Structure 1
């Protein structure tokens, strides 16, 4: 059977993995593409799978138009990926045959053969949601590697590979524990090595290790540091330490051994989800940490010779002006090597989504007009805070940058784009409030 998998903008690991299973194990003819504008690429397909990762993908007019076009050609279309957590929205917004729920490695081949386990769809005007019967063990060894994968750039890497799934955290804004669960399922080192060799053979020279919190690899009641270190050393020996990053870490699952391994076997960076300098807001987000612990983890990484990037969230419905000012103070104290700022996004089925749905729009920073120092730009409050924090962060990094007119414009445009996207996503969840609360 001819199956085309569309992975929006980039070749995600999930799309490559399902593509590999369909091709190698089930002998289907697979094509993986990331550009949807050329509809002719789909026309010889028996089935099209849209691998989508963002709420905004669902209301993307180009995707909607393509779906309608393919339906007019009687091509069967399924949606998969992280957005499958909220099939009610997808099935009402896109004219597709069904939504492949959860982790699709086990269910996708069966659905293609006619099974409805793990599938959400309309039947006689009624929505049927058949949840998957089980979660897969991570024992798949073949991924589908596109020929142009080496040209891809995802935060400096050609590709992110997956070493484990699941997260122990309870962060209210995060979809990972809801989608993958809180039990840590890890891939055998032998299979990780096999994938890395396959990627390298196809021209990949920069790899990042994903999984939410890298040091949770092979977690069994406690951090298994030896397995984690063995794993990144093995990957580093293949790809080279200068070409490997292990960025995403929780501050409560790092110590000197973990950080020294990151220094010795990778480019030597960690990426902490700090989110806020306000302990009150961190508690509301259920981060499981506080500003003191965050500063200590940053200091420990620096002592080990590891560079530290931190991410921050602004525009949370419970973020007050004092919370935002505390975040600015934290950035001064931390002197991070890099900073990433995001407006709070209410991903459907997360606790943050419920909070936003229970917050009046005229009390939500996403919709409140900013009347402070940036009012001449016509910003909403979350956009103003994002812009302000981006500028502020540049002055307090370990290596400060001069705020030029061009840099200021880049950050202003970024803040406006984030604000627009979050408004669209928020308006969409309000449209389906009854499904989500």
Structure 2
């Protein structure tokens, strides 16, 4: 038995919900015991007392890195190489060498649903993990080895959350973005082609959540109003309607929150045709519009792909339909 200890915080709970969901459906991880770090040093010591070795996993935002770096330094000082430290998340994908130099054994780059379980399997079985796609590690203090990801993830193949461990989160319905805005990491982490979880798959997980007592649903997407769009560059209202109508028919569901936290919508997607559909099904009265800037010069510099006028039009359309623009 090998312990996987998760450094679970409110800032990375959605990431871990999806990753632990991926572990649930991996039939090879039978010798892995998953738990959550509450008292970091005490919990690690307890795992080491039982097994002599454990894996500790972090998901790191840039705003967390300095604190994580200090904590990892203390873990290394106290437990040496008895702890195998794994890092993933946005900051890790952007700055893997910096994170590895802070004391981590390996960094998971980009999507983790395939590489993370494979890494855990090989580590727990004592096998060589260095050829796994989608990871990075230090060959030497000055040499970074970065294995590119092999394939993009099909969202239908993995749960959006973890029923087994009670980690429920908004359902990720789309991933990737074709726009590649310069201030945003989404396209660089998940690719420039937008992928969508199928309606059948989404409804399946909505039903599971409702059975566990979650009667309101939120969703994760780089641009909620792009759901179903083959290009990701223009809305397809008929596909949005099919999605929302199917979700609304789930027995016991009392609220659909779409185009609001934790996701937003691009302003040029806020058309009357889309709002005709959305207004029939959603419970939220606020829509978050990703305007990013009121300066056309700045929008051009960051490669945003829409105009200031698009923002004004989106606000007007939302007000016309009774929504509050955020």
Fold similarity call, TM over 0.5:
yes
Q: Give the aligned partner of residue 89 of structure 1.
A: 98
Instruction: Report if aligned partners of 2:235, 2:274 keep a CA contact under 8 Å in 1.
Output: no
Q: Give the aligned partner of residue 251 of structure 1.
A: 267
Q: Does 1:140 align with 2:142?
A: no
CA deviations over 1:363-396 (Å, ceiling 9, x no partner): xxxxxxxxxxxxxxxxxxxxxxxxxxxxxxxxxx
The verdict on how the C-alpha distance between 1:211 and 1:199 changes in structure 2, with shifts beyond 3 A counting, is same
Distance 1:250 1:25 in 2: 35
Instruction: Report if aligned partners of 1:3, 1:46 keep a CA contact under 8 Å in 2.
Output: yes
The verdict on how the C-alpha distance between 1:66 and 1:263 changes in structure 2, with shifts beyond 3 A counting, is farther
Distance 2:153 2:304 in 1: 27
Q: Give the aligned partner of residue 276 of structure 2.
A: 260
Distance 1:274 1:179 in 2: 21
Distance 1:148 1:66 in 2: 30
Instruction: Report if aligned partners of 1:119, 1:130 keep a CA contact under 8 Å in 2.
Output: yes
Distance 1:307 1:66 in 2: 47
Q: Give the aligned partner of residue 66 of structure 2.
A: 59
Instruction: Report if aligned partners of 1:138, 1:186 keep a CA contact under 8 Å in 2.
Output: yes
Q: Does 1:172 align with 2:182?
A: yes
Q: How does 1:311-326 map to 2 (within 5 A)?
A: none
The verdict on how the C-alpha distance between 1:277 and 1:252 changes in structure 2, with shifts beyond 3 A counting, is same
Distance 2:147 2:255 in 1: 45
Q: Give the aligned partner of residue 161 of structure 1.
A: 171
Unaligned runs of 5+ in 1: 151-158, 310-437
Q: Give the aligned partner of residue 375 of structure 1.
A: none
Q: Give the aligned partner of residue 193 of structure 2.
A: 183
Q: Does 1:192 align with 2:202?
A: yes
Distance 2:176 2:59 in 1: 20
Secondary structure of 1:103's counterpart equals coil
Instruction: Report if aligned partners of 1:262, 1:306 keep a CA contact under 8 Å in 2.
Output: no
Partner residue of 2:312 out of 268, 291, 295: 295
CA RMSD, 1 decimal? 2.6
Q: Give the aligned partner of residue 6 of structure 2.
A: 5
Deviation at 1:243, TM superposition (A): 4.8
Partner residue of 1:104 out of 109, 112, 116: 112
Alignment TM-score, normalising by the size of structure 2:
0.81
Q: How does 1:206-221 map to 2 (within 5 A)?
A: 206-221=216-231
Deviation at 1:175, TM superposition (A): 0.7
Distance 1:73 1:97 in 2: 9
Deviation at 1:215, TM superposition (A): 1.8
The verdict on how the C-alpha distance between 1:67 and 1:162 changes in structure 2, with shifts beyond 3 A counting, is farther
Secondary structure of 1:68's counterpart equals helix
Instruction: Report if aligned partners of 1:218, 1:227 keep a CA contact under 8 Å in 2.
Output: yes
Instruction: Report if aligned partners of 2:256, 2:281 keep a CA contact under 8 Å in 1.
Output: no
Equivalenced residues, count: 298
Deviation at 1:90, TM superposition (A): 0.7
Deviating more after overlay: 24-33 vs 251-260: 24-33
Instruction: Report if aligned partners of 1:269, 1:308 keep a CA contact under 8 Å in 2.
Output: yes
Q: Give the aligned partner of residue 49 of structure 1.
A: 57
Alignment TM-score, normalising by the size of structure 1:
0.62
Q: Give the aligned partner of residue 403 of structure 1.
A: none
Distance 2:17 2:41 in 1: 21
Secondary structure of 1:219's counterpart equals coil
The verdict on how the C-alpha distance between 1:171 and 1:124 changes in structure 2, with shifts beyond 3 A counting, is closer
Instruction: Report if aligned partners of 2:100, 2:106 keep a CA contact under 8 Å in 1.
Output: yes
Deviation at 1:7, TM superposition (A): 3.3
Distance 1:198 1:69 in 2: 43
Instruction: Report if aligned partners of 2:237, 2:274 keep a CA contact under 8 Å in 1.
Output: yes
Q: How does 1:379-390 map to 2 (within 5 A)?
A: none
The verdict on how the C-alpha distance between 1:2 and 1:199 changes in structure 2, with shifts beyond 3 A counting, is farther
Deviation at 1:177, TM superposition (A): 0.9
